Amino acid sequence: MPSDTAPRSGRRGAGRDAKRAARLAHAIDSVPFITRQLAPFEVLSEEGLALIEHNADTVLEEIGIDFKGDPEALDLWRAAGADVQGERVRFPRGLCRGLIQQHAPREYIQHARNPARSVTIGGRNTVFAPNYGSPFVRDLDGGRRYGTVEDFRNFVKLTYASPWLHHSGGTICEPVDLPVNKRHYDMLYAHMRWSDKPFMGSVTAPERAQDSVNMAQLLFGDNWIDPASGRPRTVMTSLINANSPLTWDATMLGALKVYARANQANLTTPFILAGAMSPVTVAGTCTVTLAEALSGMAFAQLVNPGAPVILGSFASSISMQSGAPTFGTPEPSLVLYAMAALARRLGVPFRSGGALCASKVADAQAAYESANTMNATLMGGVNFVLHAAGWLEGGLAIGYEKFVMDCDQAGMWHAFMNGVDLTASGQAMDAIREVGPGSHFLGCAHTQANFETAFFRSNLADNNSVEQWEAEGAQDMPVRANAIWKRALREYEPPPIDPAIDEALLDYMARGRAAVPDSDI
> In whole angstroms, what is the distance from residue 259 CA to residue 200 CA?
11
Q: Is residue 327 helix, strand or coil?
A: coil
Q: How far is the CB of 34 from a copy of itself (least distance, A)?
A: 12
Interface of this chain with a copy of itself, residues 280 to 339, rule: CB under 8 A:
280-284, 287-288, 317-326, 328-331, 333-334, 338
Cis peptide preceding 245, ω within 30 of 0:
yes
Segment near a copy of itself (CB under 8 A), from 23-31, 127-135, 301-309, 368-376? 368-376
Phi, psi (5° rounding) for residue 485?
A: -70, -30
Interface of this chain with a copy of itself, residues 206 to 225, rule: CB under 8 A:
none
Helices (DSSP H) in 43-94: which residue ranges?
A: 46-58, 71-80
Interface of this chain with a copy of itself, residues 35 to 74, rule: CB under 8 A:
38-39, 41-44, 48, 51, 55, 58-59, 62-66
Segment near a copy of itself (CB under 8 A), from 177-185, 301-309, 422-430, 511-519? 422-430
Segment near a copy of itself (CB under 8 A), from 122-130, 216-224, 231-239, 414-422? 414-422
State the Rg of the chain over Cα: 24
Name the nearest CA neighbour of 165 among 133, 128, 216. Answer: 128
Q: How far is the CB of 106 from a copy of itself (least distance, A)?
A: 24
Q: Is residue 139 helix, strand or coil?
A: strand
Question: How is 397-427 classified by DSSP, letter by letter?
Answer: EEEHHHHHHHHHHHHHHHHHHT----SHHHH
Interface of this chain with a copy of itself, residues 446 to 465, rule: CB under 8 A:
446-447, 450-452, 454-458, 460-465
Q: How far is the CB of 220 from a copy of itself (least distance, A)?
A: 36
Interface of this chain with a copy of itself, residues 135 to 164, rule: CB under 8 A:
144
Interface of this chain with a copy of itself, residues 233 to 262, rule: CB under 8 A:
243, 245-247
Q: Specify which residues 241 forms β-bridges with.
A: 269
Interface of this chain with a copy of itself, residues 114 to 133, rule: CB under 8 A:
none
Q: Is 439 in the site for a copy of itself (CB under 8 A)?
A: yes
Cβ distance to a copy of itself smaller for residue 224 or 456: 456
Q: Is 107 in the site for a copy of itself (CB under 8 A)?
A: no
> In whole angstroms, what is the distance from residue 245 CA to residue 428 CA?
55
Selected from 175, 275, 308, 312, the binder of a copy of itself by CB under 8 A is: 275
Interface of this chain with a copy of itself, residues 338 to 367, rule: CB under 8 A:
338, 358-367
The 8-class DSSP code of residue 232 comes to B
Interface of this chain with a copy of itself, residues 384 to 403, rule: CB under 8 A:
393-394, 396-397
Segment near a copy of itself (CB under 8 A), from 101-109, 123-131, 255-263, 276-284? 276-284
Cβ distance to a copy of itself smaller for residue 118 or 268: 268
Q: Is residue 510 helix, strand or coil?
A: helix
Q: How far is the CB of 436 from a copy of itself (least distance, A)?
A: 6
Cβ–Cβ under 8 Å, residues 269 and 275: no
Cβ distance to a copy of itself smaller for residue 3 or 409: 409
> In whole angstroms, what is the distance from residue 402 CA to residue 362 CA?
6
Interface of this chain with a copy of itself, residues 463 to 502, rule: CB under 8 A:
463-466, 469, 474, 476-478
Cβ distance to a copy of itself smaller for residue 221 or 330: 330
Q: How far is the CB of 279 from a copy of itself (least distance, A)?
A: 3
Q: Is 103 in the site for a copy of itself (CB under 8 A)?
A: no
Cβ distance to a copy of itself smaller for residue 26 or 433: 433
Q: Specify which residues 315 forms β-bridges with.
A: 272
Question: What region, left, alpha or beta, does residue 361 occupy, with left being phi > 0 and alpha being psi -120 to 50 degrees?
Answer: beta
> In whole angstroms, what is the distance from residue 482 CA to residue 486 CA?
6
The per-type count for the chain, helices as H runs and strands as E runs, is 18, 19
Cβ–Cβ under 8 Å, residues 158 and 485: yes
Q: How far is the CB of 387 from a copy of itself (least distance, A)?
A: 16
**CA torsion angle 202 206 261 126 (round to 10):** 30
Q: How far is the CB of 495 from a copy of itself (least distance, A)?
A: 29
Helices (DSSP H) in 145-249: which residue ranges?
A: 149-161, 183-194, 206-220
Q: Specify which residues 318 forms β-bridges with.
A: 325
Segment near a copy of itself (CB under 8 A), from 183-191, 233-241, 254-262, 269-277? 269-277
Segment near a copy of itself (CB under 8 A), from 122-130, 258-266, 296-304, 413-421? 413-421
Cβ–Cβ under 8 Å, residues 152 and 194: no
Q: How far is the CB of 18 from a copy of itself (least distance, A)?
A: 15
Cβ–Cβ under 8 Å, residues 246 and 65: yes
